[in-house]
Amino acid sequence: MTSTLYNKIFIATDGSKQNKKAVQHAIEFAKLSGAKLYAGYVVDTAAFASIPMDAGWEMMYELLEKEANTATESVLEQAKAEGLDFENIVLEGNPSHEIINFVENNDIDLIVIGTLGKTGLDKFLLGSVAEKVTRNSKVPVLVVRGDTKE
């Protein structure tokens, strides 16, 4: 039995161990509803706004891009194993803004996002991406508490 409530589901991933639980929920919702799953990673380019563009900046950007691909590829492997329709998305900019923009411009029906990522002190200082997405999204958001024991 499938549901028509969700046709497109977006999972925000950062590749962290704490985010695994959110990915599992997104995959399960996609399986149950027959929805296409989009795994999105946002390269936070705002962190580089004050750094001059040189070889060091390019190297750092390449590392972040590689991290993005690794994070979304991990979801791809799990989605393929479940036979899901899937697409990797790598965005650049402010994470909460980019997630919301992508969702609104692509008729996404549900956002799945974890509460704990790997941002640590940055998350405390800048505010939670999950909180900002939840507060500003026009579509339902499933917030999944990460496992702090990993």
Tell me the pLDDT of the chain (150 aa) as tens digits.
Answer: 566 789 999 999 988 877 889 999 999 999 999 999 999 999 887 766 666 666 666 777 788 888 888 888 889 989 999 999 999 999 999 999 999 999 999 999 999 998 865 555 444 444 588 899 999 999 999 999 876 554
What residues make up the domain containing 106? 8-144
Is residue 1 assigned to a domain? no
**Token duo for residue 97:** 């803004």
CATH number at residue 114: 3.40.50.620
Cβ–Cβ < 8 Å for 134, 149:
no
3-state secondary structure of 114: strand
Is residue 136 assigned to a domain? yes
pTM (2 d.p.): 0.84
Cβ–Cβ < 8 Å for 19, 46:
no
Is residue 3 assigned to a domain? no
Is residue 2 assigned to a domain? no
> Whole-angstrom Cα distance, residue 49 to residue 18?
28
The strands making up 36-43's β-sheet, listed across from edge to edge, are: 86-92, 36-43, 8-12, 110-114, 141-144
Helix boundaries (H) for 14-86 = 20-33, 55-81
**Token duo for residue 105:** 């411009």
Cβ–Cβ < 8 Å for 111, 140:
yes
Q: How many domains does the chain have?
A: 1
Per-residue pLDDT at 61: 74
Is residue 114 assigned to a domain? yes
End-to-end CA distance of the chain: 34
Is residue 44 assigned to a domain? yes
